[in-house]
Amino acid sequence: MGYIPLLRYRIPLAMTLAIFALSVTGPTQANEGDAPVWAMPVAAWPQVSNEVSQNINALLADPSIRKTLEDIKANESETFNRTIALTEIPAPPFKEEARAKEFMKMLNSAGLTDARIDKEGNVIALRKGLGAGPLVILDSHLDTVFPIETDVKVKERNGKYYAPGISDDTHGLSVLVSWAKILELNNIKTVGDLLFVGTVGEEGNGNLRGARALLKEYPNADAFIGFEPLTSGYIVPLNTGVYRYEVKYSGLGGHSFAAFGTVPSAIHPMGRAIANIANIKVPKNPRTTYNVGIVRGGRSVNTISPDAIMEIDMRSTDQKQLDILDKKIKGIINKSVEDENKFIGANPLTVTINKIGERAAGMTPNNSPLIQAALGSMRAMGQKEEMLIGGSTNAEVPISLNIPTIIISPGGTFEGFHALTEAMDPKDSYKGSQIALITALTAVGVQGVSKPVIIKKIK
């Protein structure tokens, strides 16, 4: 993802109930506005049904829920201090264990005493409801894209806090702990169950292994709400399709002078393939992209290389376009080897194309009660809706199982995802957390206050 400027709240919380009936239900069209180029609308905003709006109204009118929202604001500093503590525990894919253990301890201390780490490395804690409602998963991923040796010490400059991984996705973990603590303190009884989760393997070659393991254990989950570093006002109901490959060129190799012209280089055809891949024209809408992210190989400057490896990432919000791009790139790779072998005429090269990641494109229908709950919560709490967009996240797994799924903001301003300059501004971050919590409570229902808008599956 990229940086989206923070959109400040227009309406104080105390005023929302008076105008709610006017603001929550009306449909609007998705608006590109000043959004970054990758943030393209994938659907129009839906009409918020009377049922959903009435449930949100009931939640915001309830004294215990209002106290819960006030506590989220009062705990903003504590929440961010926890974000700093988790950020400073390195957690690249396949090395999330230390952060997972600390996150589990935090959930235990917040009152979720059954928090555990599963066989895949996910942290899972079930907050049981009355047993008569849906199971709603609340997810933030544990891993970051940065190698274990990366300096993840948080540094403050002019109100912003810089550290690799602080926004993607560490702050979401801290917000989940805050929710668990504050729901317990206020004795909020939900109709359905809330499953608090910190997943492993969302980034890079982790290939969503945590989410896949989670949904194997909980295939009958009724809804999935994930956190990613979005600005409030954006909702992600669409999962961007992804193919990732490791491409390996292999040959005999030889001396750069003695074997010249008789032994093909593994590096030369890979270089030509990269150049030709870079010339591929892809559609802007549906947004489709490619990237050669890693290249390696060779023995020395005076050795005809016997090996060369590149890793390729392809993405599209449309599965058909992704498959078209996939075919083009594979064709370029195979032709690069054919041309090199034809040019040298001896000691032929081979190439292997190994898939190392796959995420299917898919979407929660824009009229889903879960999207309505998020949209209605934003409007009710004074946040202007901006756009329904796509993204490549853990959402692929539940969407593929037809589980209503959205990715939303945990609150805060974020920038520099996947860069060493990644940063967060925590000012007023409680506001996004409040919106997200009302969304979750609207989905799951609260005893004596509201009914779930998500239907419990028949087991």
CATH numbers and ranges of domains, the chain = 13-238+361-444 (3.40.630.10), 241-359 (3.30.70.360)
Two tokens, residue 197:
């989760």
Distance CA 168, CA 424 (A): 10
Q: What is the mean pLDDT of residues 276-285?
A: 96
Which DSSP symbol is given to 299? S
pLDDT at residue 56 tops 90: yes
The per-residue pLDDT for 23 is: 42
Q: Average pLDDT over the chain, rounded to whole?
A: 92
Burial class (CB in 10 A: 0-12, 13-18, 19+), 238: buried
| 353 HSE (CA, 13 A, CB side) | 16
Average pLDDT over residues 146-154: 97
Q: What angle do CA 171, 172, 176 make, to 5 degrees?
A: 120
Backbone angles phi, psi at 115, to 5 degrees: -55, 140
Omega before 286 within 30 of 0, i.e. cis: yes
Say how many CA atoms lie within 13 Å of 379 toward its Cβ.
25
Q: What is the pLDDT of residue 231?
A: 84
292-302 pLDDT per residue, tens: 999 999 999 99
Which residues make beta-bridge pairs with 316? 241, 288
> Which residues fall within 8 angstroms of residue 217, CB to CB, at 6 or more apart?
118
Q: Which residue has the higher pLDDT, 21 or 172?
A: 172
Examine the pLDDT at 12 and tell me if it is beyond 50: no
Three-class DSSP labels, 205-243: HHCCHHHHHHHHHCCCCCEEEEECCCCCCEEEEEECEEE
Q: Check whether 130 has a pLDDT greater than 60.
A: yes
Kindly report whether the peptide bond that precedes residue 318 is cis, defined as omega within 30 degrees of 0: no
Neighbour-count burial of 439, counting CB atoms closer than 10 A to its CB (0-12 exposed, 13-18 middle, 19+ buried) = buried
- Closest listed residue to residue 266, CA positions, set 276, 274, 278: 274
CA 182-184-186 angle, to 5 degrees, is: 70
Give CA–CA dist 41/30, Å, rounded: 6
Q: What is the pLDDT of residues 197-217, one digit of tens each?
A: 999 999 988 999 999 999 999
User: Which residue, chain included where needed, has tokens 């555990």?
Assistant: 116
Query: What's the gap between Cα 176 and its chain centre?
Result: 15
Q: Answer with the residue of higher pLDDT: 342 or 39.
A: 342
Q: Residue 35: pLDDT band by 50, 70, 90 thresholds? A: low
Q: Is 23 in a helix, a strand, or coil?
A: helix
pLDDT of 457: 85
pLDDT at 459: 64
| 126: β partners | 195
pLDDT at position 34 is 57
Average pLDDT over residues 29-58: 81
Task: Give start and end residues of each alpha helix (H) in 315-395.
Answer: 319-344, 369-380
